Amino acid sequence: MDSIKENKMGTQPISKLLISMSLPIMISMLVQALYNIVDSIFVAKISEDALTAVSLAFPVQNLMIAIGAGTGVGINALLSRSLGEKNFKRANEAANNGIFLIIPSFLLFLLFGIFFTGIFYRAQTKDAAIIEYGRQYMSVITVFGLGLFSQMTFEKLLQATGKTVLSMYTQGLGAIINIILDPCFIFGLGFFPKMGVTGAAVATVIGQFSAALLGLFLNVRYNGEITINPKQYSPKISIIKKIYAVGLPSIIMQSIGSVMTFGFNKILIGFSKTAVAVFGVYFKLQSFIFMPVFGLNNGLIPIMAYNFGAKKKSRILATMKYAFIYAVSIMMLGTVIMQLFPAQLLGFFEASDKMLKIGIPALRIISLHFMVAAFGIILSSSLQALGHGIYAMIMSFTRQLVVLLPAAFILSKIGGLGYVWWSFLIAEFFSVLIGYISFSKVKRNQIDVMED
């Protein structure tokens, strides 16, 4: 056992540790966000219908990511806490049971891709072109989802043991391959077949499988804190329960985003399909701003979980303090960019005059909630790291379903499309209030009592 690596999260200065663990993930997530944007830029060159179809696919893609990432959060928290408690047997059980959980996640979406893709699109629109584009895109993404779930699991294993630079390599490889192959398969460059929207999906899954294979190799070769051996550490119900004690609320929390997006698209398509395309473009653009904060929170979770297991109060609170500072700074920059350059950002997506008319005020209004969201993300991640995923789930449920969707619907009736975008700011304030109350309770009962 490498004692230096083992003790890194309990001994290194917090500011340096948080940056060193988060920065590689931030970079890899920025590359991932760049891929998301480039992917839509190429699809937009086919037609606005193609862009709308890919935008409507977001709830299912988000659900896949929610299950993969949520399970990963559970693995990450249990593994990191076990290492902090020096319980190496349980850490290995967490890792190997996490790998086993790839299989049921993949099978769920394999069935969806085979039987329900058309039904999903017809529930949102009657436009035949959009339905066909969507069927082409989503069937590939779901049927070949094994790459996504494998990639996310192997990345979380690296992050949980502090090897975030290695996880950066896997995410970076997948995104770069994706960016390179996108125009090749979409437009048929060189010897590649011209596949249109299907080509975008093919490029995506090739990138995911490439990243998954690299992640497996890096864990086996360099992750000395765990031993990947499915025969020695067979599936164990008690460990799976511990993983999902934290992971399931995270899955539900992120899955709520799929429900929200589906409902929001239904509200928007009542105005026009261009409004749906604008919303899809917004999500691609905001990912470039939010991904670094999510990278920060991926560095925060194992640090807080480790020090919670080691009962080091000052390090837990210092991690939160620096995370708040960094997250708000990132979001402030994102707000400024969207306030000053909305037309230029939309221009990357072949925006028509109609899209610009809807999109410019939309980006400016929605971006007002970014800095408030920074506090919500860090509070939510901290609650997950401390084993209180249920509170984080309540925050997400309140923000996206209890407040955001009803507010968007009411505002659409009161003031039309222009008012709908204000629902994001309203919902975020409610979410942060709940997060603050929840964390204050956890801090009082479980952190303040530590002697440090």
Name the burial class of residue 189, with classes exposed (0-12), middle (13-18) and buried (19+) by CB atoms within 10 angstroms of its CB: exposed
Note whether residue 452 is domain-resident: no
What is the per-residue pLDDT for 152? Answer: 93
What is the per-residue pLDDT for 200? Answer: 94
Counted domains in the chain: 1
Residue 328 CA to residue 372 CA, distance in Å, equals 8
What is the per-residue pLDDT for 46? Answer: 92
pLDDT for residue 44 is more than 70? yes
Question: Tens digits of per-residue pLDDT, 150-184?
Answer: 999 999 999 888 787 898 889 889 989 999 999 99
Contact in structure between 228 and 220 (CB atoms under 8 Å)? yes
Say which residue, 367 or 59, is predicted with more confidence. Answer: 367
pLDDT band at 122 (very low <50, low <70, confident <90, very high): very high
Note whether residue 49 is domain-resident: yes
Question: What DSSP character marks residue 368?
Answer: G
pLDDT for residue 336 is more than 80? yes
What is the per-residue pLDDT for 145? Answer: 95
pLDDT for residue 4 is more than 70? no
Residue 204 CA to residue 331 CA, distance in Å, equals 28
| SS3 state of residue 388 | coil
Question: Tens digits of per-residue pLDDT, 258-281?
Answer: 889 999 999 999 999 999 999 999
Least confident of 64-68, 406-410, 448-452: 448-452
pLDDT for residue 36 is more than 80? no
Rg over alpha carbons for the chain, rounded to the nearest Å, is: 21
Least confident of 7-21, 126-140, 205-219: 7-21
What is the per-residue pLDDT for 452? Answer: 65
User: Would you list the DSSP string of 51-68?
Assistant: HHHHHHTHHHHHHHHHHH
The single-letter code of the amino acid at 128 is A
Say which residue, 309 or 111, is predicted with more confidence. Answer: 111
> Mean pLDDT, to the nearest integer, of 408-420?
96
Note whether residue 136 is domain-resident: yes
Question: What DSSP character marks residue 188?
Answer: T
Residue 151 CA to residue 156 CA, distance in Å, equals 9
Which percentage of the chain shows pLDDT scores above 90? 57
Note whether residue 345 is domain-resident: yes
Reported pTM: 0.76
Say which residue, 435 or 171, is predicted with more confidence. Answer: 435
> Mean pLDDT, to the nearest integer, of 307-324?
89
Residue 4 CA to residue 350 CA, distance in Å, equals 51
Domain of residue 386 covers 3-447
> Mean pLDDT, to the nearest integer, of 206-227?
93
Cβ–Cβ contacts within 10 Å for residue 191, how many? 6
How far is residue 60 from each of residues 138, 238, 258, 290, 402, measured CA to CA in Å?
8, 30, 7, 20, 21
Residue 81 CA to residue 87 CA, distance in Å, equals 9
Contact in structure between 120 and 138 (CB atoms under 8 Å)? yes
Cβ–Cβ contacts within 10 Å for residue 298, how many? 27
Note whether residue 206 is domain-resident: yes
What is the per-residue pLDDT for 39? Answer: 82
- Nearest Cα to Cα of residue 280 among 358, 397, 339: 358
How far is residue 242 from each of residues 5, 279, 289, 297, measured CA to CA in Å?
24, 37, 32, 21
Question: Tens digits of per-residue pLDDT, 343-391?
Answer: 999 999 988 999 999 999 999 999 999 999 999 999 999 998 888 888 9
Question: Tens digits of per-residue pLDDT, 242-259?
Answer: 999 888 877 887 788 888
